[in-house]
Every structure is written in structure tokens, then in C-alpha cells.
Amino acid sequence: MSVPMVEAHGVHKSYAGVEVLRGINLTVERGEVTCLIGPSGSGKSTLLRCINHLEKHDAGELRVDGNLVGYEARGGKLYERNDKQICAERSQIGMVFQRFNLFQHLTVLENITIGQVKVRSIASEDATRRARELLARVGLDAKEKNYPSQLSGGQQQRVAIARALAMDPKLMLFDEPTSALDPELVGEVLDVMKDLAKSGMTMIVVTHEMGFAREVADSLYFLDQGVIEESGNPREVLVHPRSERLRVFLSKVL
């Protein structure tokens, strides 16, 4: 059996003495979609940021694709990886943000080619060809010359997904990708994500879209106050929550 894409054992993270993650255990198998739900401040973003090493976790074991995040185990010791290795690791994990974070000074096409050209040293023509393919895939081939400020929120988020996909990631992290969108724009972004899930991409999605979780996710984790309170098949967990906290949370968001 192959190693899981993401494995967390007792992951801890504190900010200035305040424990935000208090022993997270989670496993994400290859090709699976995992949804992460939980109240505001429960540590969902922090967990995602630890997985692609935007933040350093303080304790516990965190593995992506079998490798420890940020460290290398050699001869019974842990060696901290240098910046270059960390950047190389990160480039294989795509991240999509709540507020899109497209590069404002670059056109849609340039947003998608810059990582390929500058990080992966791909020739500019090849990068452009790949960018056009991805734009077609997210349904925005007509917008390549526009700047992000000229697009709607939904369009910007689809470009952001294309930008992440351009790095050929083995894992995609989504941090509330539809929370900043007007209700009528949520569907177009979820459609792209469903399509991506069907293609076999491994995804971790922080979301409040319970419909999406029920329909697409293979597993669901409910995070509360820095611990996984409940997890399992979303079609079971969402219908018959065992813990009181999840029941209260669901009654608020549904």
C-alpha cells in the first residue's frame, strides 16, 4: 500500500504562547478530497499553512508524500531543510486563498506563467501553452490579457486555481475558496473544484459549503479549538454528528 499524501500525528502550533493547534491527527490518501470544517479561529488556516510550510509547526510529525515537512531524517537526527529545499517542496503543493491573491501587476496569463518560468525554469513558450490550456480548463480563455482587477471575484478565483495547477502540484490546498464570493459566483468555482476532484487530484478543502463536502469529499474533519473533534465519511458525519460541538456548529451553518 502506498504512503498517504498527508499524515499528521500530534501536530502542535502556538503563536506567542497561545496554542492554536493542539495535537492534530489526520491522514489524507492519494486522490482523495478531504474537507476541513470548523468555527472561526479553530485553526483551519493554520493547519493548511503548516502543511505547505508557510508556518513551522512546533511539535508532532507532519509528512507530505512520505517526507517530513521542513526536516530531513538522517541517522536518527532531524536536519532542518534549507530555504531552497523548502521552496522546492512548496512548489509541489498548490494553495488557493480566500482572497485570491492574484499578482495585481501581472495579466491573467502572466500570473499563470510566472511560477513555471521563474521557479520551474520552463521555457516561456511552453509555459504560455500550458497556461492557455489551464485557462481553457477553468473557462477563462478569453481573459488572458486582462489584469486581475478587471475580473469578477469568481473569475479571479478560477485564475488562482489555474495558477496553482500550473506548477503541476501533487496536492492542492484550498482555504475557504468561496467565502469572499457573491452567492451567484460560488457555483462556478465549486464546479472547477469538482472537476479537479474527478481528475484524481488530492485536495484538502477548508470550506463552509456543506453541499460540496457531502457531494465531493471522501472524508471530513471537524476542527474545534485546535483539535480534531470528529471525522469520518461526510455523508455520515454531517447527517448523524456524534459530538455536541459539531451538532451546534452544523445548526449554525446549515
Partner 1 sequence: MTTNGDDAVEVVPVRHVGRYVAAAVVLVLVAMLGHTLISKVPTGQTACHVSAGVPTCHQVSNWRFSWNIVFHYFTTSQVLDGLLVTLELTVIAMTIGIVLGMLIAVMRLSHNRLMSSAAWVYTWFFRGTPVYVQLLFWFNIAALYQSVTIGVPFLHITWLHINIVAFFTPFHTAIVGLGLNEAAYMSEIARSGLISVDEGQIEAATSIGMTRSQTLRLVIVPQAMRVILPPTGNEVISMLKTTSLVIAVGGVTDLLQSVTLIYSANYEIMPLLIVASLWYLIVTTVLSIGQYYVERHFAKGALRTPPPTPIQRLRTDLRGIAGKFRSPRHATIKAAS
Ligand X SMILES: Nc1ncnc2c1ncn2[C@@H]1O[C@H](COP(=O)(O)OP(=O)(O)OP(=O)(O)O)[C@@H](O)[C@H]1O
Q: Of the listed pieces 3-11, 40-48, 163-171, 192-200, which binds ligand X according to CB under 6 A?
A: 40-48
C-beta of 90 vs 130, nearer to partner 1: 90
Comparing CB distances to partner 1, the nearer of 67 and 91 is: 91
Q: Is 88 in the site for partner 1 (CB under 8 A)?
A: yes
Q: Does 102 bind partner 1 (CB under 8 A)?
A: yes
- Indicate whether 41 belongs to the interface with ligand X (CB under 6 A): yes
- Cβ 13 to partner 1, closest distance in Å? 17
Q: In a 3-state reduction of DSSP, which class is residue 192?
A: helix
Q: Is residue 57 near ligand X by the rule CB under 6 A?
A: no
DSSP3 helix / strand / coil % (the chain, rounded to 5): 40, 25, 35
- DSSP, residue by residue, 119-148: TS---HHHHHHHHHHHHHHTT-GGGTTS-G
Asked whether position 40 contacts ligand X by CB under 6 A, the answer is: yes
Judged by CB under 8 A, the residue of 41, 59, 72, 99 near partner 1 is 99
Binding-residue total with Mg ion (CB under 5 A): 1
Closest to 174 (Cα-Cα) out of 40, 12, 44: 44
Cell readout for 107 is: 495579466
Run of H or E residues at 63: strand 59-64
End-to-end CA distance of the chain: 37
Nearest to ligand X of 15, 79 (CB atom): 15
| Helix 108-118 / helix 153-165 crossing angle, nearest 10 deg | 20
DSSP 9: E
> Is 4 a residue that touches ligand X (CB under 6 A)?
no
In this chain, which of 42, 45, 111, 113 binds Mg ion, going by CB under 5 A?
A: 45
What secondary structure letter does DSSP report for 166? T
Which window, 44-52, 70-78, 130-138, 243-251, contacts ligand X (CB under 6 A)?
Answer: 44-52
The residue assigned the cell 486555481 is 161
Rounded to the nearest 10°, the torsion over CA 128, 131, 135, 137 is 120
| Residue 43 binds ligand X (CB under 6 A) | yes
Binding residues (CB under 8 A) for partner 1: these are: 52, 54, 83-84, 87-88, 90-95, 97, 99, 101-107, 114-115, 118-120, 147-150, 160, 163-164, 167
Residues that bind Mg ion (CB under 5 A): 45
Q: Which residues contribute to the site for ligand X (CB under 6 A)? A: 15-16, 20, 38, 40-46
